[in-house]
Structure 1
Amino acid sequence: MTRLNLEQKFEALTPALLFKWLVWILAFATGVVGVVFAFYFMEFNGGFSSQNADWGTFGDFIGGTLNPLLSFLGLIALLLTIVLQSKELESTRKELERSALAQEKSESALTEQSKTQIKQQFEGTFFSLLDQHNKALEKISASTGRWTNGRSDIDIVREAVFERPASDLAGAKNALEEKNGLCGHYFRVLYQTLKFISTNVPDSHIGVSFNESTIKDCGLVKNEKMYSNILRSFLSYDITQLLAINCYCTSPQDTYWNFKLLIERYAFLEHMPFTIDSKSNKLLLSTEQFYDQAAFGQSQFKRVPGAA
């Protein structure tokens, strides 16, 4: 109990209380000195001596009597000062810890706020591009007038590519490019939207280094596939089949090469049927040899034997 009370007193020590104790110690020390001198002069009251030996005896008496006591009082005062300084250092340490913790929380909040702003900026541009994409898709999907017998641009392009089929993908690509004026704008919008996702999605590792190596080797970051899936969900079967033909190319120097890599990165042919009018199409089947398997994702379409 005594120890606990002493610890509690030390814990309650303040600069004002320390000053008060030091004053009491000084007063007590002064009183002791006065008492010692009084006793000495009361006992030896023969006046001041002119002998060195007498003064030596006086010094020994005063020093032997007061030094231990004053040293003890000085030690107590020093210990009290050390206790107060320790308390202040501990308070300072705790305050610094609280400040550091508050700063960490503030930095964490700023980081999260920055990430939120980056995501909002990305999504603002993404959904703007998505709107442009949907408008372009709607335009080529709508009927173009009487002279086309109610057909859309997609219908006209598909007729050129699939109803008069070429012998291989290169020939089909040439047939599609002959109709570039009808659907070329749409595919360019689609490519730019996919490129924007890959280079600007938060935490993207591709960034400005948009090339074959980064597209193929950089893993997908959080939500990247989600945004590409949102875009992919607007593509009909007809558009997906034309896309497979549109991105055919044979060399990394070809302007469509990165487009092809993005198709593979985001599995844009996952929902592409390999049939036309319920019959397998040899051009679509041949895309399996051209595209990496990643382009088809987890495709569940069954390949029907026999090409149209």
Structure 2
Amino acid sequence: MKNLIIGICIAATVAALIAIGVFTSHFGLGFASNIGNWGAVGDFFGGVLNPTFALLSLILIAYTLMQNKKALEQSEKAIEQGTKAIEQNEIALQVSNKELELTRNELANSSKALEEQASLLAIQSFETTFFNMLELHNKLLNNIFYDGGESYENIKDELDITYYVDGSFYGEDKKHKGLDSLKRLITAIESAFVYGKNRTTVLFIFNTMYKYENKAFGGYFRNLYQVLKLIKNSFPDMNIQKKYSNILRAQLSNQELSLLLLNCLCPYVDNGEFRKLVIHFELFEHLDITYKLGDDNIATFTINNQTLNLTSNEIDQYFSTDTSGKLIKSAFGQNPQIMDYCKFKNLIDQ
């Protein structure tokens, strides 16, 4: 463009010089003598140079239009290329979005797999601890040894009874440990209840014996408490809790349940935390217990195999009720005898 302008300027200059040269060669140099001659001079130069300058201008305009056309074409190509680039960028973004989505899905799957693995490891860790504690539970039960002879006189004096069976009648069998010792302990408790002068409660007798005989069975009940606590704290789902507590409950004999009932009411044990766990897991649902309503509408309870006589006050402490006095949960679950008693007490609807 620059060269064209220079060329046109040179051509215009040359044309002007030629016109001046031609004019001066024919008419010489000097000023015209009248206005008419001046007009003739103007007509001469205008007639010679105007077409030349117009032609040069037309060439410049045409060239400019051609350049503008080329610029427009280049702009259109640039726009088209830009559009294609944008489309390619959109495709690239879509691909990137898909890759990100796949990455997120993979991360989510990995996270879920890790959670499942962690959950499985937690369950495995729990079950290892749980079954080890069950094994310890059985060992502690088998090592329980109760020989009433050691504390016989102290208990007899404290309860103010002249005689009660302490289990020594078992003869050589009194050397046996485990469940036999629990049977001897229950026999001693019921015997003290039968022969007591004031016919005090079975729970009072147990509390008295607890002070002297806790060394024989205290560790067993403490381990049982820790097993229940482990189950409750390990799983928020009650169905899973019941699964493991039922495994534990299946290991407990009627004698163990009987002593557990008294143990959880003993003031020397705790602040009722053990009893709350027993209620929570309904451990006494299969306890062999009989409910009887006397002529005075006073309810009495008898645990069978072996016999223990309980009062309604002792049973009532294993009920959880709401503010209106309705039963929320019972340590006896759906035990039919206790359910009849709850109906009598209006704890549940008839």
TM-score (norm 1): 0.67
Other-structure match for 1:134:
138
**5+ residue gaps, structure 1:** 1-36, 38-43, 205-219
Q: Which among 315, 321, 341 is matched to residue 288 of structure 1?
A: 315
AA aligned to 2:330 is A
What SS does the corresponding residue of 2:283 show, helix, strand or coil? coil
Other-structure match for 1:269:
284
Q: Is the 8 A contact 2:144 2:181 kept in 1?
A: yes
Q: Does residue 173 in structure 1 map to residue 132 in structure 2? A: no
After the TM superposition, which residues 212-227 of structure 1 pair with which residues of structure 2 at under 5 Å, given as runs?
221-227=238-244
- Rounded to whole Å, the distance in 2 between the matches of 1:172 and 1:256 is 20
Q: Is the 8 A contact 1:264 1:295 kept in 2?
A: yes
Q: Measured at CA, do residues 121 and 242 of structure 1 come closer, stay the same or move farther in structure 2, by a change above 3 Å?
A: same
Other-structure match for 2:184:
156
Q: CA RMSD in A?
A: 3.4
Q: Is the 8 A contact 1:237 1:273 kept in 2?
A: yes
More moved, 163-172 vs 275-284:
275-284
Q: Is the 8 A contact 1:241 1:284 kept in 2?
A: no
Q: Which among 272, 277, 282 is matched to residue 257 of structure 1?
A: 272
Residues 274-302 of structure 1: per-residue CA shift (max 9 Å, x gap): 23558985316543222215211111347
Displacement of 1:65 = 3.0
Residues 113-157 of structure 1: per-residue CA shift (max 9 Å, x gap): 111111111111111001000122233399997162868211221
Q: Measured at CA, do residues 149 and 92 of structure 1 come closer, stay the same or move farther in structure 2, by a change above 3 Å?
A: closer
More moved, 69-78 vs 82-91:
69-78
Q: Does residue 194 in structure 1 map to residue 228 in structure 2? A: yes
After the TM superposition, which residues 50-61 of structure 1 pair with which residues of structure 2 at under 5 Å, given as runs?
50=9, 51=12, 53=57, 56-61=60-65
Q: How many residues align?
A: 242
In terms of fraction of residues, the more strand-rich structure is: 2
Residues 168-204 of structure 1: per-residue CA shift (max 9 Å, x gap): 25413324413323322211221121122222x14x4
- Rounded to whole Å, the distance in 1 between the matches of 2:340 and 2:238 is 36
- Rounded to whole Å, the distance in 1 between the matches of 2:339 and 2:117 is 49
TM-score (norm 2): 0.60
Other-structure match for 1:238:
255
Larger Rg: 2
Q: Is the 8 A contact 2:202 2:310 kept in 1?
A: yes
Other-structure match for 1:30:
none
Q: Is the 8 A contact 2:264 2:272 kept in 1?
A: yes
Displacement of 1:73 = 2.0
Q: Measured at CA, do residues 249 and 78 of structure 1 come closer, stay the same or move farther in structure 2, by a change above 3 Å?
A: same
Q: Is the 8 A contact 1:161 1:172 kept in 2?
A: yes
Q: Is the 8 A contact 1:270 1:297 kept in 2?
A: yes
Report % sequence identity.
26
Residues 6-50 of structure 1: per-residue CA shift (max 9 Å, x gap): xxxxxxxxxxxxxxxxxxxxxxxxxxxxxxx9xxxxxx9xx9321
Q: Does residue 299 in structure 1 map to residue 332 in structure 2? A: no
